Amino acid sequence: MTEISLLRQRLLDDLAERGTLSDPWQEAFAALSRHQFIPDTIWEDSTGELMPLRRADNPERWLEAAYALDAVITQVDDGHPTGPDDRGRYITSSASQPDVVALMLTALDAQHGMRVLEIGTGTGYHAALLAHRLGAQNVTSMEIDPTLAEHARTALAATGYPVTVITGDGAQGYPPHAPYDRIIATTAVHQVPYPWVAQTRPGGKILAPWANHYHNGALVCLTVQADGTAQGRIVGDVAFMELREQRFRATIDDAECEETTARHSHTSVAPSSVAGDYDASLAIGMKVPHCAPIYVSAQHYPDHCARLWFADPITKSWANLLHQPDTCTYPVHQSGPRNLWDEIETAYHWWLDAGRPGPHRWHITITPDAQQVTLTETSTPVGVTP
């Protein structure tokens, strides 16, 4: 066997061991060579820096990355690296982890003859897997970045999967090929765009990574109803980069976040309770909009205390929670028009009082005018996003 054949087989074995590769998709994964869709320059996250790895400079390492079970960073800073020597600051496109791809394709439940719209073409690998099983004529893929779209078209054509790749805003869908039996997104959304619902036939499904500003890590599956709405639940745990028009980036500037002038208090709620618990952080994000958590390790501070920051870039409000070991109380600082920590602590106690609901308890409804999230079993409306 060639080196590529060995790497491809190793990937298949790893997926089989993890139990994420279902029978209907095994043939597609076995038929495709992932490296044929990976661009010649990728990036590695090294000690907080996104460092370029060029195929020409290190072909063995590049090939190993192409067949690893990890995501492969394929674009930084929207294609214009902001650091020296093409180093990046933000990841803006990647080839998803193969086990996540397998999980999502299984959850999509696409059958032969179905028409599928993919939002976020990326490298084209995901579209090729769909095309192998469903036929290229049944797959339409949208990519907002022209450079990524052209790369995907080239890779798809070269591998024998001439999927229609449209350069455009995926949030608007693609009406000319509608209606679709399935829509699948490879980019996270805070609000499911209604055009996706309108372009899916009644009974069809929409599968998308779904995030709130506080928590990124939910996969939702929605079924489109005859009345033009879509309803569904969280069916998995995946984290993706956000749809470009829905991006929410929060950062901490030490010069602006001065603790000595902030409002000071204490809490008995540990940082891990509001940031390290999946169910709690999902619920907090439902109740506290426009707030992102940012963890900064102890080595960055003279008092050797790690900090869990919370930031709202819209109102310039921030808060932090100091992690002091061997203690039951934690110092809190807050600044700006919002008392972010107070909101978070209130939301956390609400979640406790509600019985610590997990992801299966959340019900999502999409209408032409809004997105409503309801906590089931209690019929408690949590939020409506217009």
Residue 329 resides in a domain? yes
Q: How many CA atoms lie within 13 A of 374 on its CB side?
A: 14
Q: Give DSSP secondary structure letters for 171-184.
A: GG--GGG--EEEEE
Q: Give DSSP secondary structure letters for 234-291.
A: EEE----PBPGGG-------TTT--GGGSEEEEESS-HHHHHS-HHHHHHHHHHS-S-
* Phi, psi of 380, rounded to the nearest 5 degrees: -95, 110
Strand partners, 221: 207, 233
What 3-state class would DSSP assign to 150? Answer: helix
**Residues 316 and 223 occupy one common structural domain:** no
C-alpha 43: how far from its chain's center? 18
* Phi, psi of 14, rounded to the nearest 5 degrees: -65, -40
Per-residue pLDDT in tens (0 to 9) along the chain, 386 residues: 578 889 989 999 999 888 888 888 999 999 999 999 999 999 998 777 899 999 999 999 999 999 999 999 999 999 999 999 999 988 999 999 999 999 999 999 999 999 999 999 999 999 999 999 999 999 999 999 999 999 999 999 999 999 999 999 999 999 999 999 999 999 999 999 999 999 999 999 999 999 888 998 899 999 999 999 999 999 999 988 777 777 777 777 755 678 888 999 999 999 999 999 999 999 999 999 999 999 888 777 777 788 899 999 999 999 999 887 778 899 999 999 999 999 999 999 999 999 999 999 999 999 999 999 999 875 455 554 54
From residue 383, give the alpha-carbon distance in Å to each of 148, 190, 227. 35, 12, 21
First-to-final CA distance of the chain: 56
DSSP state of 77: G
C-alpha 230: how far from its chain's center? 21
Residue 377 resides in a domain? no
**Residues 118 and 204 occupy one common structural domain:** yes
Domain count for the chain: 2
CATH number for position 334: 3.30.160
Six token digits for residue 111 = 């059958």
Residue 175 resides in a domain? yes
Compute the distance between CA of residue 79 and CA of residue 86 in angstroms, rounded to an integer. 10
CATH number for position 188: 3.40.50.150
**Residues 213 and 107 occupy one common structural domain:** yes
Residue 90 resides in a domain? no
* Phi, psi of 236, rounded to the nearest 5 degrees: -170, 175
Q: What does pTM read for this prediction?
A: 0.90
**Residues 277 and 192 occupy one common structural domain:** no
Q: Does the active-site annotation cover 22?
A: no
| Residue ending a domain, choose from 188, 209, 244 | 244
**Residues 321 and 202 occupy one common structural domain:** no
**Residues 209 and 308 occupy one common structural domain:** no
Compute the distance between CA of residue 138 and CA of residue 133 in angstroms, rounded to an integer. 10
- Domain range enclosing 269: 259-353
**Residues 237 and 308 occupy one common structural domain:** no
DSSP state of 69: S
**Residues 328 and 196 occupy one common structural domain:** no
**Residues 320 and 345 occupy one common structural domain:** yes
Strand partners, 244: none
Active-site residue identified among 96, 273, 281, 317: 96
**Residues 195 and 265 occupy one common structural domain:** no
Q: Are strands 180-185 and 116-119 parallel, antiparallel or unpaired?
A: parallel
Residue 51 resides in a domain? no
**Residues 204 and 159 occupy one common structural domain:** yes
**Residues 211 and 142 occupy one common structural domain:** yes
